[in-house]
A and B are shown apart, each in its own frame.
Chain A
Amino acid sequence: MQQSALAGLLLILGVCAACAAEPVRPAKPAHDKQSFAEIERGHYLATAGDCAACHTDPGGKPYAGGRPVETPFGMLLAPNLTPDRATGIGAWSDEDFVNALLNGRGAGGTRLYPAMPYTYYTKISRDDALAIRAYLNTLEPVHNEVKSNQLPFPFNIRLTMAGWDLLFFHAGRFQPVAGKSDEWNRGAYLVEGPGHCGLCHTPKNFLGADETDNVLQGSVLQGWFAPDLTGDPRRGLGSWSADDIVAYLKTGHNRISFATGPMSEVISDSTSRMTDDDLKAIAAYLKDQAAPKESPPAAMSAQNNSMRSGETIYVDNCSACHGPGGKGITHLFPALDDNPIVQSKDATSLIRVTLEGAQNVATQAAPTGPAMPAFYWKLSNAQIADALTYIRNSWGNRASAVSSGQVDDVRSEPTQR
């Protein structure tokens, strides 16, 4: 995988010289960078885009950068976005900023790596981009030199991104879809643009670009499976109402599912701080995503050995919280029956949660933050595999069996998460 990616990139290097990004339009002179409303709008958009997720190092100053961003090709450090002139973006013109956000080009035209999701941000309107810039200008300047590029050769050569951009980057602002409601279009803008949901939830090809035929169908990254967000009734959002989606993004959980892992941060720093109208718009758009045409696997027989062993493990270790019928407890323990994450095609997140435990994100609206204990020390790979196979095939659930090898893979993976 790593080698073929390398070969692909080297190939592209040879082919591509320079690829013109969309020319930047001149700024509207009416734009008032000092307007409180404009700055607050920028603040809101920076929140919706969750810029701080990468650009704030935990324990560091807001937006001062330095946080490691893991990619399949190596490590990048998110740059300093504060207005410090020497180490931040204080010396950048507005045009530099807009060019970076919308076209993936740093000051002086250098190529950004798409870990910075300009492939999504390109849909952000120019006005919104300038509002974000106006907000960033109000931050305390922090002197923090960040050497972003920590990638190994040849990925550390930024010019390689020219080929990547040529193949996978389609610059252009969001265009409303005629015939869809304003709410739907607002949702589409947020999901496809600032929200950059697909960065995690859309499967990637071998060069780390979105598989455009499988948008939002779920993807593995950073040791977690970001679930399917299409209308698939079994493993997507088909069984969720728009209200379920809003509750999940606002509070961190709903009647079915509880956010944990990397999504915790998204909810805590971004979606829980968005307006209800915007969350409803996101829900309206997501509820309109067609499900991939795939028939579910046949349910496993309750007499299967793994299922029988899994049931006893479930009763002893899981049922006190998740209930004998997998119904969970409202606001506290997720339901396992009819839960799309439980039935996802990839069981990585389920295995990780069982091994390491998990804490539901706490929000202003739902401060509890209940947690599940770790089982890595208590259950063997085979026991966890059987329990998860049982959970994935009980109470109406239908999903592939989990093998002890899969559990071992997650267990063996070094993790800092």
Chain B
Amino acid sequence: MSQKLPATDIVIIGLGWTGSILAEALTRTGLNVVALERGPWRDTSTDFPTTYAQDELRYHIRHDLFLRPAQETMTFRNNANQTALPIRTWGSFMPPNGVGGGGVHWNAETWRFLPSDFQLRSHLVQRYGEKFLPEDMTIQDWGVTYEEMEPYYDKFEYLCGTSGKAGNIGGKKQAGGNPFEGPRARDYPTPPQRQPYAPTLFAAAARELGYSPFPQPSGNLSQAYTNPLGVALGPCTYCGFCEWFGCGNYSKASPQTTLLPVLVRRPNFEARTLCEVTRINLDGSGKRATGVTYVDAQGNVWEQPAELVVLCAFQLFNVHLLLLSGIGKPYDPHSGEGVIGRNYSYQVTSSVDAFFDNKNFNPFVASGAIGMCIDEFNGDNFDHGPHGFVGGGYMGAVQTNGRPILGTRVPKGTPDWGAAWKKVVAENYLSSYEAATHGSCYSYRDAYLDLDPTYTDPLGRKLLRINFDFHQNEMKMSAFLTDRLAEIIQKMGPRSIEKNPRKGPYTITKYQTTHTCGGAIMGTDPKTSALNRYLQSWDVPNLFVTGATIFPQNAGYNPTGTVGAFAYWAADAIVNQYLKHPGPLVPS
């Protein structure tokens, strides 16, 4: 039996990046906001202090900051011919846990999507014709334009203090920036991070091949910065422990370093941690959310009534909660009907390992997002006609981590352990390099999320089931991108290189990225999207959903910049439209 709590105005489920952004914007209106977070409270100096934050064993290998699969996991299968089994240790992606969410342990690569990414289907059909797209590809337009999103990208970048170099200000190309990016209103808030040696060599090689290299936009700051909320961040120390680690230097943009210090001072804001929302409750009509039910750390069940519910959990858990709450029609891959679980997508990454003689790259000088990239082969920046695939990605020499245990590279054929392995590691530690491509992953009819028929979580709820595999289009793209990257690396003069294009089948046991996307996507048609263009549920208008859950498909960039921009976009719609006239913001 649940105990009913006094009603509040707004409940936010999940206090990561988007939950914090929404909470900041919504508490500003004077309304009372309660954020419910499954994980613990986390604070820079107490939870990832510089005195022990750089512990690869604790954080990288033992997954200290992540959700425990015993708490909640999901099952996985590549296709309908297999029986899905539960993931018992994280591999391909790392579900976040706790206040700050993925914002605590991201690499802080802070990109914008290309203008054409937002009109993907209509753009590609117009340029290449309907038949050019694989038959089972279910890509869609987002229902918004880049121009509409620009001010919200700007807001997120200025919240974070993102370090970068503009390539296009108001339509005017800027030397040294990304010439393919959409027009931005102004430059990044802080200049790019200083580049280590290898990215500098990469940029020179790329220029020689006629490309336009530019510094990767980074949420690990090049210099001290105070954001518009008055919260201060410090310069990155290039310690190399970003991805999977919290930053103890206040230099990586996260909810902790940009928003929470302001939020915790607001008397109308309340965060309840170690509280897992089990259900979004609906009234008898099924058209209105009445609040949420959650379980606290002691196992007590509470009902928190609210006028408005904002679902801000990690992508997979947003979809899980919608399915468990019976909101929206579950997607059926056979009929192609239904919207919850539809268009699950991921990210297609690949790499080139290069081994040099007489080079010293100082690989321990690293940050989550320092590097030089090119964007010639992203999105539709090049003619796909001759290549027989769609999509693309950025590529570059990004010195993302300085971790000593797993950050070592050895040429293929080296023994996996022992004296011979040690010798080769020592020989190659300073002079090898891994460059990477970060490719799009488009959506398909058979890539979706649903509830597992067999396995349940500790609360007795059906686990979420991931049905996913890479498709030929993506693997062709990855081979193409990897070849282009290898050409650049070759120009840097290595002794040998090894190409690692992404190949199928998709496996959940080896880390790739945590960029899981889709499942409750935004769009213009309630038959093919769960949310309208303001991220409002078509079915339950007092429910909004944020995060990469809303992506109809994933572009060739890290998603957080876009996730942050859409959080601001939704916040704006709620504050300036919904609260004034509660109800559907788009007629269905």
CB A45 to nearest CB in B, in angstroms, measures 24
| Binding stretch for chain B, among A26-34, A174-182, A240-248, A370-378 | A370-378
The verdict on A370 contacting B250 (CB below 8 Å), with A331-B226, A364-B265 known, is yes
Which residues of chain A are near B43, meaning CB under 8 Å? 371
Asked if B45 and A367 sit within 8 Å, CB to CB, the answer is no
B49 to chain A: closest residue by CB:
A373
Which residue of chain B lies nearest to A365 when distances are taken between CB atoms in the complex?
Answer: B230
Are A329 and B224 neighbours in the complex by a CB distance under 8 Å? yes
For chain B residues 30-72, which have a beta carbon within 8 Å of chain A?
A: 43-46, 49-51
A329 — which chain B residues lie within 8 A by C-beta? Answer: 224, 234-235
* Extra contacts besides A357-B49, A367-B229, A374-B49 (16): CB < 8 Å: A320-B249, A321-B249, A329-B224, A329-B235, A331-B232, A332-B224, A362-B265, A365-B230, A367-B230, A367-B265, A368-B230, A368-B250, A371-B46, A372-B45, A373-B46, A373-B50
- Is the pair A320, B232 in contact by a Cβ cutoff of 8 Å? no
Q: Is B248 an interface residue (CB 8 A)?
A: yes
Q: Is the interface of B mostly helix, strand, loop or mixed?
A: loop
* Complex alpha-carbon distance, A364 and B266, angstroms: 10
Please measure, in the bound complex, the distance between the C-alpha atom of A333 and the C-alpha atom of B230, giving whole angstroms.
Answer: 15
Interface residues of A in 318-342 (CB under 8 A from B): 320-321, 329-333
Is there an interface contact between A366 and B232, defined as CB atoms closer than 8 Å? Answer: yes
Q: How far is the CA of A317 from the CA of B44 in the complex (A)?
A: 16
Question: Is A369 interfacial (CB-CB < 8 Å)?
Answer: yes
Q: How far is the CA of A364 from the CA of B250 in the complex (A)?
A: 19
Contact B265 A357 (CB under 8 A): no
Cα distance A317–B234 in the bound complex, in angstroms? 17
**Which residues of the partner chain A approach B234 to less than 8 Å between Cβ atoms?**
321, 329, 332-333
Closest to A333 in B: B234
Q: Are B250 and A332 in contact (CB under 8 A)?
A: yes
A320 to B249 CA separation, bound complex (whole angstroms): 8
Bound complex: CA A373 to CA B47 (Å): 10
B44 lies within 8 A of A366 (CB): no
B83, CB-defined interface residue at 8 Å: no
Number of interface residues of B (CB under 8 A): 24
CA A371 – CA B226 in complex, angstroms? 16
- Nearest Cβ in chain A — how far from B104, in angstroms? 16
Binary interface profile of B, 263-291, with partner A (CB < 8 Å = 1, else 0)?
00100000000000000000000000000
Chain B, Cβ-Cβ closest to A364: B265
Contact B230 A366 (CB under 8 A): yes
Query: Chain A residues with Cβ under 8 A from B235's Cβ?
Result: 329
**What are the residues of chain A within 8 A of B45 when measuring CB–CB?**
357, 359, 370-373
Residues of B at the A interface (CB closer than 8 Å) are 43-46, 49-51, 224, 226, 229-235, 237, 239, 248-250, 261-262, 265
* Interface contact B261-A321, CB-CB below 8 Å: no
B549 to chain A, nearest CB (A): 30
CA distance A333 to B44 in the complex (A): 14
> Across the interface, which residues of B come within 8 angstroms of A332, CB to CB?
224, 232-234, 250
Query: How far apart are A326's CB and chain B's nearest CB, in angstroms?
Result: 15
CA distance A366 to B237 in the complex (A): 23
A124 to B231, CA, bound (A): 37
> Which chain B positions have C-beta within 8 A of A321?
50, 234, 249
Task: Find chain B residues with CB under 8 A from A368 CB.
Answer: 230-232, 250, 261
Chain A residues numbered 345-401 whose CB sits less than 8 Å from any CB in chain B? 357, 359, 362, 364-375, 378
10 residue pairs A–B, Cβ–Cβ below 8 Å: A321-B234, A329-B234, A330-B232, A331-B226, A362-B265, A365-B230, A367-B261, A368-B231, A371-B44, A375-B51
B175 CB, nearest partner CB in chain A, Å: 30
**Nearest CB on B from A157, distance (A):** 45
Q: Please give, as numbers and ranges, the residues of chain B lying within 8 Å of A366 by CB-CB distance.
A: 230, 232
| A320, B248: Cα distance in complex, Å | 10
7 A-B pairs with the lowest CB-CB distances in the bound complex, closest first: A373-B49, A371-B45, A331-B232, A367-B261, A368-B232, A329-B234, A332-B234
> Looking across the interface, which residue of chain A has its beta carbon closest to that of B260?
A367
- The distance in angstroms between the C-alpha atoms of A373 and B249, with both chains bound, is 10
- B51: chain A residues at CB < 8 Å are 317, 373-375, 378
Task: List, in ascending order, chain A residues with CB within 8 A of B226's CB.
Answer: 331
Of A357, A359, A366, A368, most B-chain CB atoms within 10 Å:
A368
With A366-B230, A373-B51: A320-B239 Cβ-Cβ less than 8 Å: yes
CA distance A320 to B239 in the complex (A): 9
Residues from chain B with a CB closer than 8 A to the CB of A375 are: 51
User: How many Å lie between the Cα of A359 and that of B44 in the bound state?
Assistant: 11
* Complex CA distance for A378 and B52, rounded to whole angstroms: 9
Question: How long is the Cα–Cα vector from A317 to B231 in the complex, in angstroms?
Answer: 25
Q: Complex formed: what's the CA distance from A348 to B219 in Å?
A: 38
Q: Which residues of A contact B261 (CB under 8 A)?
A: 362, 367-369
Q: A374 to B50: give the CA distance in the assembly, Å.
A: 10
A 20-62 binary contact with B (CB < 8 Å = 1; else 0): 0000000000000000000000000000000000000000000
Residue of A nearest to B237 (CB): A320
Alpha-carbon distance A321/B229, docked complex (angstroms): 22
**Alpha-carbon distance between A366 and B265 when the two chains are bound, in angstroms:** 11
